[in-house]
Structure 1
Amino acid sequence: MCSRSQAEQWVRAGRVAVGGRVVRDPEHPTAPEQRGITVDGQPIGEAAPVYVMFNKPRGLVVSASDERGRATVYDALAQAGLPWLGAVGRLDKASEGLLLLSNDTAWAAGITDPVTHQEKTYHVQVDCVPDAALLARLGEGVVDDGERLAVLRVGLLRAGEKNAWLDIVLDEGRNRHIRRLLEAHGIGVLRLVRVAIGGLALGDLPKGQWRHLAAEEVEGLRVIPRATGGRI
Structure 2
Amino acid sequence: MGARHGLARVLSKRGLCSRSQAERLIRDGRVRLDGRVVRDPEHPTDVTQARIDIDGAAPEQAAPRYLMLNKPRGLVTTASDERGRDTVYRCFDGAGLGWIAPVGRLDKASEGLLLFTNDPQWAAHITDPARGPGKTYHVQVNRIPDATTLSALQAGAAVEGEWLRAASVTLLRAGAKHAWLEITLDEGRNRQIRRLLAAFDIGVLRLLRVAIGPLAMGELPKGQWRELTAQEVAALGGG
TM-score, length basis structure 1: 0.92
Aligned residues: 224
- Compared CA separation, residues 68 and 5, structure 1 to 2 (3 A): farther
The 5 Å alignment of 1:70-109 reads 70-109=85-124
Report the 3-state secondary structure (helix = DSSP H, G, I; strand = E; otherwise coil) of the residue aligned with 1:10. helix
Q: Does the CA contact (< 8 Å) of 1:58 and 1:94 recur in 2?
A: yes
Q: Deviations over 1:178-212 (max 9, x none)?
A: 01101111111111100000000000000000001
Q: Which moved more, 1:203-212 or 1:97-106?
A: 97-106
Q: Write the distance in 1 (CA, Å) between the matches of 2:46 and 2:160.
A: 39
Q: Does the CA contact (< 8 Å) of 1:52 and 1:212 recur in 2?
A: yes
Letter in 2 for 1:148: W
**Aligned residue number for residue 31 of structure 2:** 16
Shift of 1:127: 0.7
Query: Which stretches in structure 1 are left out of the alignment for 5+ residues?
Result: 225-232
**Aligned residue number for residue 42 of structure 2:** 27
Shift of 1:43: 1.0
TM-score, length basis structure 2: 0.89
Are residues 1:165 and 2:180 paired?
A: yes
Q: Select 2:83's aligned residue among 49, 52, 68.
A: 68
Query: Which stretches in structure 2 are left out of the alignment for 5+ residues?
Result: 1-15
Q: Deviations over 1:92-132 (max 9, x none)?
A: 11111001111111111111111204210000111111111
**Aligned residue number for residue 153 of structure 1:** 168
Q: Deviations over 1:68-91 (max 9, x none)?
A: 111111122121221211111111
Shift of 1:27: 2.4
Q: Does the CA contact (< 8 Å) of 1:111 and 1:223 recur in 2?
A: no
**Aligned residue number for residue 68 of structure 2:** 53
Identity percentage of aligned residues = 62
Q: Select 1:129's aligned residue among 144, 153, 156.
A: 144
**Aligned residue number for residue 211 of structure 2:** 196
**Aligned residue number for residue 207 of structure 1:** 222
Q: Write the distance in 2 (CA, Å) between the matches of 1:11 and 1:75.
A: 28
The 5 Å alignment of 1:174-185 reads 174-185=189-200
Q: Which moved more, 1:172-181 or 1:70-79?
A: 70-79
Report the 3-state secondary structure (helix = DSSP H, G, I; strand = E; otherwise coil) of the residue aligned with 1:43. coil
Q: Deviations over 1:13-44 (max 9, x none)?
A: 11122112222222223221133111111112
Q: Does the CA contact (< 8 Å) of 2:141 and 2:202 recur in 1?
A: yes
Q: Which moved more, 1:198-207 or 1:44-53?
A: 44-53
Q: Does the CA contact (< 8 Å) of 1:3 and 1:64 recur in 2?
A: no
Q: Which moved more, 1:153-162 or 1:16-25?
A: 16-25
Aligned-residue CA RMSD in angstroms? 1.4
Q: Write the distance in 2 (CA, Å) between the matches of 1:12 and 1:133.
A: 56
Q: Write the distance in 1 (CA, Å) between the matches of 2:137 and 2:44.
A: 39
Report the 3-state secondary structure (helix = DSSP H, G, I; strand = E; otherwise coil) of the residue aligned with 1:116. coil
